[in-house]
Amino acid sequence: MGKRFFVMLLTLFVIVSFAAYPTGPIKVVVPYAAGGASDVQVRIIAKYVKQLFGWDFAVVNITGGGGSTGAREVLKAKPDGYTVLWYHQSIFSNFHVGTAEFNYYDFTPVCIATRGNRVVVTRPDTPWKDLKDAIEDAKKNPGKIRLGAEIGATSHFQVIPMQMAANNGFILAASSGGDMDRITKILGGHMDLSPIALSAAVPFLKSGELKALAVLSPERDPFLPDVPTAKELGLEELVFTQDQMFFMPKGTPEEIVKTFANAIKQVIQLKECVDELAEKAFAIPMYMDGEEMLNFLKWEDERFDRFAKAAGLKK
């Protein structure tokens, strides 16, 4: 009797404690600086999570190591659902070039929330109409055109297929410091073309200071409907999106993961949230969880692995 009562009490306690999740603020680690695309998106989501569920997201920026420093803080956090990582495809690039010793399977994947596209840009005075032209040009005049990337980061993986298509005719020009740094270098003529996050590139595309050569998404981007996808230009491999996803530390109880994922699912369907994501971050909602998300992660991970090997980045 006593034993059964105890078990019942324990079960009840467990149910109540899950039902009560979250009882306090949830720390959301953004492994990039405040004001970047990742940061702005999660702060918008946080706002509507508060509105809809009354949950407090404490957004914390932990920068460094191409995102791996912040990720590591979550990796070693308690698996209680109160520390969450907001991350994207860098998890694969960091692992395959050796910046990080962990991969997606060292976390509990929760859900994917948004998708941002990437676009290859150049100065308006370059002779190319689209990415195909640039690649042909590099093939014919090797060692003349500077293709910019942040070495070891996702942008590097994006230029590998371009470089392969051009028979290594591009000069790979390194940058440090992300998309804005490369935009500045292109504007100043220190690089000729580079893949950039749409959110960073759009203001310059609209003002005519940059022109778009290709979008690296599976379909045309709603914000740049006239720009062809790389696939349409015959570059099948060149599909690279920036998908923002939530991870929790490994061993987080399934109930908590589900509760969290469901909340996010509802929030990113809110019209106001969708509009704000589009307006401020040029991101579109893209929800995936469970099995579907795992398959997607696996597929991406294999691609990054393959490119890292092809380019000799693999450590």
Binding region for another protein (CB under 8 A): 33-36, 39-40, 43, 47, 60-66, 68-69, 72-73, 94, 97-99, 101, 143, 146, 151-153, 171-177, 180-181, 184-185, 187-191, 203-204, 206-207, 209, 276, 279-280, 315
- Work out how close the CB of 248 gets to another protein at its nearest, in angstroms, rounded to a whole number: 18
- What is the Cα–Cα distance from 202 to 224, expressed in whole angstroms? 9
Residue 29 or 235 having the CB closest to another protein: 29
Cβ contact 108:248 at 8 Å: yes
The rounded Cα 3 to chain-centroid distance in angstroms is 50
- Work out how close the CB of 7 gets to another protein at its nearest, in angstroms, rounded to a whole number: 39
Residue 187 or 233 having the CB closest to another protein: 187
Residue 4 or 76 having the CB closest to another protein: 76
Q: Which of these, 104, 246, 117, 243, lies nearest to 179 by C-alpha position?
A: 117
CB-side exposure of 187: number of CA atoms within 13 Å?
13
- What is the Cα–Cα distance from 104 to 113, expressed in whole angstroms? 16
Residue 151 or 233 having the CB closest to another protein: 151
Residue 35 or 222 having the CB closest to another protein: 35
- Work out how close the CB of 34 gets to another protein at its nearest, in angstroms, rounded to a whole number: 3
- Work out how close the CB of 207 gets to another protein at its nearest, in angstroms, rounded to a whole number: 4
Beta-carbon contacts of 90 under 8 Å, excluding residues fewer than 6 positions away, are: 31, 66, 67, 68, 153, 154
State the Cα torsion 309-240-120-161 to the nearest 10°.
Answer: 30
- Work out how close the CB of 66 gets to another protein at its nearest, in angstroms, rounded to a whole number: 5
